[in-house]
Homo-oligomer: A and B are copies of this chain.
Amino acid sequence: MTDDLTPEIHPLLLCGGSGTRLWPLSRKSYPKQFARLTGEESLFQASARRLSGPGFAAPMAITGSDFRFIVTEQLAAVEIAPAAILIEPEGRNTAPAILAAALALEARAPGALMLVAPADHVIPDAARFRDVVQAAAPAAHAGRIVTFGIRPDRAETGYGWLELTDAPDADFSPVPQDLKGFVEKPDDATARAMLEGGQHLWNAGIFLMSSATLIAAFETHAPEMLAGTRAAVDGAERDLGFTRLAPDPWAALDDISIDYAVMEKSDNLTVVPYGGAWSDLGGWDAVWRDSGPDTAGVVTAGPSTALDCENTLLRAESEAQELVGIGLSDVIAVAMPDAVLVAHKDRAQDVKQAVAALKAKGVPQAETLPRDYRPWGWYESLVVGERFQVKRIHVTPGAALSLQSHHHRSEHWIVVEGTAKVTVDETVQLVTENQSVYIPLGAVHRMENPGKVPMVLIEVQTGAYLGEDDIIRYEDVYARGQGAKG
């Protein structure tokens, strides 16, 4: 469907969301698009790879500041070099995010086509999906906004639907047709009627159009948002390869979806049907459904064992934790070393409320994972005592922590993998596997990984106060401030 004459399509990976419906796997600090939900790759990585190859330009991504290093690390792991990574100063829903990307793309490649792709969907048949996207390109070049309609397989009341004039053919060929209208999340009867009628498809929020077309739509339907977003893009700062949108105009933008801001008001919408499998993994019930339950309806993942269960999902997320289910019906159980969810399958959508309840109680597991991702790699706390803490610290090749000191703790570092370059006051030394260094209280120190393989270090802290905010930064290649986390 693509040839050398077809200009490339620029994917925009939307990866700033932080949904909680897949808690405890998905947390605010590490949301579902970055988690390995269905295989070896994260949903974000699978999305990036799905939209690469002939006919596709290097992707853009838009995300929050907390996730920027996860984005670069995960793209590097699948060997995809992004064209741009835009940083939203705060989440403002999809309308400002997509518009900002369109403005940035229009400045770089006027008239280019942009594919808006949520990075947390599952679309197993990547080749078919790419073909369908390419089939939509002529309409997009002709000034249409193309939305992709997913073939429904159930009367889902949790999605918006798209109304067509004509039902797609039996093969679900990607033939563009004018969109008749949007249907908001329907009631059960309406959803059943739409499923039977065959002239309604699911709205997956995937769009293809030229950046110019989209900007024009905003000009017509949301001119204030266009002005504000343009100011945020024009005022953006470049920082270590990231494009940080300017915070002040950004904060004033409406927090609304692209559907509501422009799509539902535009009269130049086209639908291209997509007949392959698709899921937004919008809850654990969807994960269960999309994981291929056995004849008893059971799905197990990780070290889990189901005895006499039916219609049940058992997921053990850590190899170090065994999960056993006995005699369960319609239960979802997701086990992690620091948090466990057990829910009736019909209550999967209430996980959100449970997380809100935990957050209200001040439970850290509501939002954060034991493993904390940083620009230079990650760390996790192994044990916390009254006056000590043990951490495992993983530093990626070439990375460096800030030059820092602490008022209240001293640290023992033991390198267990790779080689560290360690600065303690005036001394710089290489420390390799099975060697240790002592950092006295108050000493100015830094840890770097000068090597080609990851460096892993065990840090034993002792002191009366062990909070992450006991830190004085003297130098930081990642431009973080005093007292900000390491």
Q: A460's contact among B314, B346, B416, by CB below 8 Å, is which?
A: B416
**Chain B positions within 8 Å of A350 at CB level:** 307-308, 326-327
Tell me the smallest distance from the CB of A94 to a CB of chain B, in Å: 28
Whether A25 sits at the interface, judged by CB under 8 Å, is: no
In the complex the two chains form, is B333's CB within 8 Å of A385's CB?
no
| CB of A332, distance to nearest CB on chain B (Å) | 9
Judging by beta carbons under 8 Å apart, are B342 and A323 in contact?
yes
Q: Are A324 and B338 in contact (CB under 8 A)?
A: no
Asked if residues B326 and A347 are in contact (CB atoms below 8 Å), the reply is: yes
Pick from B322, B327, B353, B383: contact of A363, CB below 8 A. B322
Query: Quick check: is A257 within 8 A (CB to CB) of the other chain?
Result: no
Q: What is the distance, in angstroms, from A206's C-beta to the closest C-beta of chain B?
A: 31
Contact of A322 among B316, B320, B338, B436 (CB under 8 A): B338
**B residues in contact with A353, CB < 8 Å:** 307
- Determine whether A358 belongs to the interface, using a CB cutoff of 8 Å to chain B: yes
A305 B340 Cβ-Cβ under 8 A: no
At the interface with chain B, which of A62-70, A180-188, A244-252, A386-394? A386-394
Task: Determine how close the nearest CB of chain B comes to the CB of A336; give it in whole angstroms.
Answer: 8
Q: Which residues of B contact A316 (CB under 8 A)?
A: 340
Interface of A is mostly: strand
Q: Which B residues lie within 8 Å of A327 (CB)? A: 343-344, 346-347, 350
From residue 411 to 442 of chain A, which have CB atoms closer than 8 A to chain B?
Answer: 412, 414, 416-417, 433-434, 436, 438
Q: Is A29 interfacial (CB 8 A cutoff)? A: no
Residue contact A325 to B339, C-beta cutoff 8 Å = no
Cβ-based interface call for A162 (8 A): no
Tell me which residues across on chain B come within 8 A of A414, comparing CB atoms: 412, 460, 462
- Expressed in whole angstroms, the minimum distance between the Cβ of A68 and any Cβ of chain B is 27
A122 within 8 A of B: no
Chain B nearest Cβ from A220, distance in angstroms: 45
Candidates B303, B322, B339, B383; contact of A321 at CB < 8 Å:
B339
Q: Report the contact-size class of chain A (Cβ under 8 Å from the partner).
A: 35 or more
Measured in the bound complex, the distance between the Cα atoms of B320 and A337 in whole Å is 8
A199 within 8 Å of B (CB atoms): no
User: How many copies of the shown chain assemble into the complex?
Assistant: 2
Asked whether, in the complex, the Cβ of B417 is within 8 Å of the Cβ of A387, the reply is yes
A373-393 contact mask (Cβ, 8 Å, vs B): 1 or 0: 000000000110111101010
Residues of B within 8 A of A339 (CB): 321-324
Q: Is A127 an interface residue (CB 8 A)?
A: no
A135, chain B: closest CB distance, angstroms: 43
Smallest CB–CB gap between A59 and chain B, Å? Answer: 34
User: In the complex, what's the smallest C-beta–C-beta distance from A337 to chain B, in angstroms?
Assistant: 5
CA distance A150 to B320 in the complex (A): 42
Cβ of B328 and Cβ of A343 under 8 Å apart? yes
Nearest B residue to A348, CB-CB: B326
Contact string, A454-468, partner B, CB cutoff 8 A, digits 1/0?
001010101000000
Contacting pair A460 B458 (CB below 8 A): yes
List A residues 152-200 near B (Cβ within 8 Å).
Answer: none
B458–A307 contact, CB under 8 A? Answer: no
Contact of A358 among B322, B385, B433 (CB under 8 A): B322
* Given A327-B350, A436-B436, A333-B342 contact (CB < 8 Å): yes
Residues of B within 8 A of A341 (CB): 324, 326
Would you call A243 an interface residue if the criterion is a C-beta within 8 Å of the partner chain's C-beta atoms?
no
Task: Say yes or no: A347 contacts B416, CB within 8 Å.
Answer: no
**Nearest CB on B from A459, distance (A):** 10
Q: How far is the CB of A381 from the nearest CB of chain B, in Å?
A: 9
- A351 in the interface, Cβ–Cβ < 8 Å? yes
> Does residue A395 face the partner (Cβ distance < 8 Å to B)?
no
Roughly how many angstroms separate A324 CA and B458 CA in the complex, as a whole number?
Answer: 32
> Which residue numbers of A lie inside 8 Å of B, CB to CB?
24, 303, 305, 307-308, 314, 316, 320-329, 331, 333, 335, 337-344, 346-347, 350-351, 353-354, 357-358, 361, 363, 365, 382-383, 385-388, 390, 392, 410, 412, 414, 416-417, 433-434, 436, 438, 456, 458, 460, 462
Provide a sorted-by-A list of 21 A–B residue pairs whose CB atoms are within 8 angstroms. A314-B342, A321-B338, A322-B358, A323-B340, A324-B340, A324-B358, A325-B342, A326-B343, A326-B347, A326-B350, A326-B354, A328-B342, A328-B344, A337-B338, A342-B342, A382-B382, A385-B416, A387-B416, A388-B417, A414-B460, A458-B460
